Amino acid sequence: MPDADVDVAIVGAGFAGLYMLHRLRGMGFRAQVLEAGSGVGGTWYWNRYPGARCDVESIQYSYQFDDDLQQEWEWSERYATQPELLRYAEHVADRFDLRRDIRFDTRVAAATFDEAGRRWVLETEAGDRVTGTWCVMATGCLSSFNTPDFPGRDSFDGATYHTGRWPHEGVDFSGRRVAVIGTGSSAIQSIPIIAEQAEHLTVFQRTANYTIPAHNTPLDPEAVRRVKADYPALRAWGKRMVNGIAFHPNPKPAGEATAEERRDVYERRWAEGGLTFMAAFGDLMLDDEANATAADFVRGKIREIVTDPETAGKLCPTNIIGCKRLCVDTGYYATYNRPNVTLVDISEAPIEAITPAGVKAQGVEHAVDAIVFATGFDAMTGALTRIDIRGAGGVRLRDKWRDGPRSYLGLAVAGFPNLFTVTGPGSPSVLTNMLPSIEQHVEWISDCFRYLRGRGIDRIEATVTAEDDWVAHNAEVAGNTLRSTCSSWYVGANVPGKPRVFMPYIGGFPAYVERCDAIAAKGYEGFALGA
């Protein structure tokens, strides 16, 4: 590929990068996207494991920037599958003719700010260079996959897979003995399907997880028609909610309800299915005792569903419900009633080794033909720190973030002029419906570029003071909820050695947007602007 010089270099062609490119083009900027994959879609390009689905309802997990697009696209199910989401991303790329400015199969190895030339210089693994006045990292929150360094990991004779890098041609587990390591969302979605195929499935569980039934169903055309008759109203409702999803929260504290009333409310939420289970009462993420009422209810459901009491006991989580991200499943707990499924609890003693024959835990070697690592991601920061990003004076982002990510609004980083992150750490991102969060960031960043261009300004940098204040505010609001209290990927706990910092901003989508808008209205307060 020839070297290129553009106004904006964008890394990533997921939902963030696609919209960034489209909006910048509309404003007359020259932009180029560099994408490691061979196609668009980002998270939905890579995560092709069986059962992969979005846990936000399709009617809301979609772009709203173009009314024709939202009117013409037809989702088929309540929760979109990965293939349908990928088709949607491809449709958007085609509809807006985006591919001609995307370099596929191009992984960015380094990004360096050239102070004298006022440009970001991006170098690809193949040695090509793309330079831009501005650089936007649209690299995703769950894109840097994590395979723990189990002793003997590479000695296994059979096939290994990671849910986040699933083979495009799919995998047929028929007649094979399969191990799944991990019980996060990816495992919980794939286990019921792998169990149907495999001769035997052994699941290695370090931490039991809460999951709520999806009750997935084909979308009712009449219900869709009603939404589309006033789509902006649904979108506006979503934007008023803390997590960017239109739903009906119950503000009442759990303690103010009788035990019977609580049971009714939880039953209703369970029957509705999905993430809004946690909206059953207003204080579930604020108060231990309130939280325990919801956790007890789900544990009761697990014991009802799973026939073997010992297995049911192992599957019952003991931590705060909703502290790790809640999962949404189709038939997960019931899968353990199958005769060909075994649950191995490794909470007390970790996996000892991967051996040529299988997985060894508690002195027992479990012989398998295939291992699925459903072990998650180096979330939020991994995709950024694995690129050698160097800001002013050659400072490396990896070094700056050694004790945890620091940013201003999750959009910019002091010492890294002209660089922006879409849904970066310090923004609501993964605690919200990602699509409206992505749109809000893309619009804020591109409006900022237009503002700067209009004033002949070619340098912008978050100030250290603004960044410090934002980081402190993040920590303060995180401290007010139960969410920061457990070992989740929100705090980097799943990656050995990663500093424990609550990474997403938990102050809520509306408050965050208000703050971003106010900062822009004040001429980008907290940023140093230089000509």
Which two tokens mark 85? 């989401």
The single-letter code of the amino acid at 25 is R
Q: Is 33 in the site for ligand NA7 (CB under 6 A)?
A: no
Residue placing its CB nearer to ligand NA7 in the complex, 418 or 432: 432
Contact yes or no for 191/180 (Cβ under 8 A): yes
* Range in contact with ligand NA7 (rule: CB under 6 A) among 122-130, 265-273, 374-382, 397-405: 374-382
CB of 171 to ligand NA7, least distance (A): 17
- Beta carbon nearer to ligand NA7, 32 or 429: 429
54 binds ligand NA7 (CB under 6 A): no
**Spatial separation of the C-alpha atoms in residues 368 and 358, rounded to whole Å:** 5
Binding status of residue 320 toward ligand NA7 by CB under 6 A: no
Is residue 182 involved in binding ligand NA7 (CB under 6 A)?
A: yes
Rounded to the nearest whole angstrom, what is the least distance from the CB of residue 198 to ligand NA7 in the complex?
19
For residue 285, what are the CA distances in angstroms to 280, 389, 431, 479?
11, 36, 13, 11
Measured distance CA(30)–CA(318) in Å, rounded: 52
Q: Does 325 bind ligand NA7 (CB under 6 A)?
A: yes
Identify the residue among 144, 163, 381, 446 touching ligand NA7 (CB under 6 A): 163
Name the one residue in this structure whose structure tokens are 């939020």: 380
Contact mark string toward ligand NA7, 111..150, x via CB under 6 A? -------------------------------x-----x--
Q: How far is the CB of 325 from ligand NA7 (least distance, A)?
A: 4
Residue 185 interacts with ligand NA7 (CB under 6 A)? yes
* Beta pairing partners, 112: 121, 390
Q: How far apart are CA 405 and CA 430, in angstroms?
A: 15
What is the C-alpha to C-alpha distance for residues 1 and 311, in angstroms, rounded to an integer? 55
For residue 228 the two structure tokens come to 């589309």
Please check whether residue 5 is in contact with residue 132, taking contact to mean a CB–CB distance below 8 angstroms.
yes
Min CB(207)–ligand NA7 separation in Å: 3
How far is Cα 346 from Cα 349, in angstroms, rounded to an integer? 5
- Give the total residue count for the chain: 531
Distance CA 36, CA 412 (A): 23
Is 382 near ligand NA7 (CB under 6 A)? no
Residue selected from 58, 143, 207, 293 as contacting ligand NA7 according to rule CB under 6 A: 207
Q: Which residue, 407, 373, 375, is CA-closest to 391?
A: 407
CB of 422 to ligand NA7, least distance (A): 17
User: How far is 76 from 197, CA to CA, in rounded Å?
Assistant: 25
Among 406, 494, 498, 505, binds ligand NA7 (CB under 6 A): 494
Question: Binding residues for ligand NA7, how many (CB under 6 A)?
Answer: 21
Among residues 122 and 142, whose Cβ is nearest to ligand NA7? 142
Of the candidate residues 351, 452, 506, 516, the single one contacting ligand NA7 (CB under 6 A): 351
Binding site for ligand NA7 (CB under 6 A): 142, 148, 163, 181-187, 206-207, 325, 350-351, 374-377, 489, 494
